[in-house]
Amino acid sequence: MTRTEFDYVIVGGGVAGCILANRLSADPATHVLLIEAGPAGRNPLIAAPGGLLPIMMSGAYAWRYMSVPQAHLDARPLYSPRGKVLGGGSAINGMVYDRGFHSDYDRWAQAGNRGWSFADVLPYFRKLENYLPALNEWHGRGGPITVTRAAQDHPFARAFLKAGAQAGYPLTDDLNGATRDGFGAVDLTMGKGKRSSAAAAYLRPVLKRRNLSVLTQAQARRIVFTGKRATGVALRHKGADFTVTARREVILSAGAINTPHLLLLSGVGDPAHLAEHGIATVHDLPGVGQGLQDHLAAHVKYRSTKPWSMLRYLNPVRGALAMAQYLLTRKGPLADPGMSVACAVRSDPALDEPDIKMLLVSALFGHNGREMVPMHGFYAHINVARPEARGSVRLASADPDVPPLIDQAYNATGNDRRVMREGVRIARRIFAQAAFDEVRGEELAPGPAIESDEAIDAYIRAHAEADYHATSTARMGHDPMAVVDDCLRVHGIAALRVVDASIMPHLPGGNTAIPVAMIAEKAADLILGKGTLT
């Protein structure tokens, strides 16, 4: 990189950063720099959907963060990684395409954020996708991210859908369409046997643009200000420190952990907290790092009486054959992430819409996917769709190399605990249906002796895990704790914008990668002064 002055400097090469780099550099007269702390990510396992398993187990391409001890989870610190590679989480996640609920975005708008209702954001969901299942009013075709429907030929998947119907739940042909209610096939961000990450879909096709610079393995140390205007970013790259200048804007797309961390390191936040670490206040903005939300995952696990789980592919010979098949044909087990069916259900039939989301996993994992249990089985991955609890991201040190203090405040409210408990009971009810008779072995977790409210709550406290959907630490709004306005500009600071999951007023009832992609597509129009899509 020979240039050090750009129109836009984007910090973070994850989902939002890759999209913004594409859209903002479309004008050849506009010079854009994208900064990513991780590598380019050329490992073929990233492109292979089934490569998810070894990537999870290795912890590669991630900031390997740990939370602070969680007060309502037996004081356990939880592994809380974030993507550290071009494409961010979309390069290493399970590829589940999940928008959440329509009402999630309507709540954003009802809080005073103009232009963020579901009707407002649907055109951007449509714009970003090349949706290969049935085309209708809810989906688009021809966009950068390829979306396919997961195959339903695995016996565990067929049993899950059939069991849902047997348990009295509706079936839906599109979990991202008119209604989220019931059981259905998962949509995946993949096509032709390859992961459709933000890096593959948005960034790599435009890397030859002469006005686009991408700097990998470069860590942003702080934002540079002239008065109350962001003018650049101080970086460390290959041991060298230097500053890049932004003529128009600095855009933070580092995610819901690293964006507030960088703001605090740069003197934007609660003055009392900054003073604790000897950081001079550039701007008093007490909401920075506050309001953190994330999904907590509990699991109901069963041994399988049939050897049909993904465990069979850990055999070295089968694994080598699977890799050869994938490289030659883009088919076989490495073309399958192993998650193909899900559901959204109610903890209480009186609710207007579901508050539990559940995914079937066709293998037995432990320690957040970092190990595979050497036994054939399957399990339900259960979330409280819209948790109430809110935590924080705070400084542990003024040294940028020291990780922040991450406190998700998991399981902190009575309602969050009640809904998760009901999720465990509903999963058991589903697995008890006749559809699972052929494959159901003993219940491994929580275990048949765990029946009472108190026992289930204790199981959740001892074994629930983080689900990597962090949001809301620089949230959009107009109240004293809001950090950005509804154009994603940081309150009180000129030429500084946040475009990532941290701006979400609250956690949507789904995975976060695709909502972040929507936010970035909309943000690009806002930054460029274009009319928003309708």
* 341/429 Cα distance (integer angstroms): 17
Please check whether residue 67 lies inside any domain of the structure: no
Q: Tell me the residue type at 136.
A: N
Q: 473 and 421: one domain?
A: no
Please check whether residue 406 lies inside any domain of the structure: no
Q: 277 and 304: one domain?
A: no
Q: 423 and 482: one domain?
A: no
Q: 316 and 179: one domain?
A: yes
Looking at residue 512, its pLDDT comes to 98
Of 379, 442, 388, 394, the closest CA to residue 417 belongs to: 388
Q: 177 and 194: one domain?
A: no
- Beta-bridge partner residues of 149: 187
For the chain, how many residues are written?
A: 534
Residues noted as catalytic: 469
| Residue 104's CATH number | 3.50.50.60
Evaluate whether 381 touches 361 at the Cβ level (below 8 Å). yes
Please check whether residue 236 lies inside any domain of the structure: yes
pLDDT in tens, 423-472: 999 999 999 999 999 999 999 999 999 999 999 999 999 999 999 999 99
Looking at residue 1, its pLDDT comes to 67
pTM of the entire structure?
0.97
Residue 480's domain spans which residues?
A: 1-52+82-145+189-294+392-401+469-534
pLDDT in tens, 270-314: 999 999 999 999 999 999 999 999 999 999 999 999 998 877 666
Evaluate whether 238 touches 249 at the Cβ level (below 8 Å). no
Please check whether residue 71 lies inside any domain of the structure: no
Taking residues 316-342, what's their average pLDDT?
77
Please check whether residue 485 lies inside any domain of the structure: yes
Q: How many domains does the chain have?
A: 2
Q: What percent of the chain has pLDDT over 70?
A: 98
Number of H helices, E strands in the chain: 13, 29
Q: 265 and 355: one domain?
A: no
Q: Specify the range with the lowest mean pLDDT, choosing from 9-18, 46-55, 314-323, 340-349.
A: 314-323
Q: 312 and 255: one domain?
A: no
Q: 312 and 379: one domain?
A: yes
Q: 290 and 317: one domain?
A: no
Please check whether residue 31 lies inside any domain of the structure: yes
Q: 397 and 488: one domain?
A: yes
Please check whether residue 223 lies inside any domain of the structure: yes
Taking residues 199-217, what's their average pLDDT?
98
| Residue 310's CATH number | 3.30.410.40
pLDDT in tens, 25-45: 999 999 999 999 999 999 988
Please report the beta strands in 227-364, taking only residues with DSSP state E, as ranges in sequence order.
Answer: 229-237, 240-252, 268-269, 283-284, 290-292, 296-304, 341-345, 356-361
Q: 377 and 498: one domain?
A: no
- Beta-bridge partner residues of 230: 225
Q: 218 and 137: one domain?
A: yes
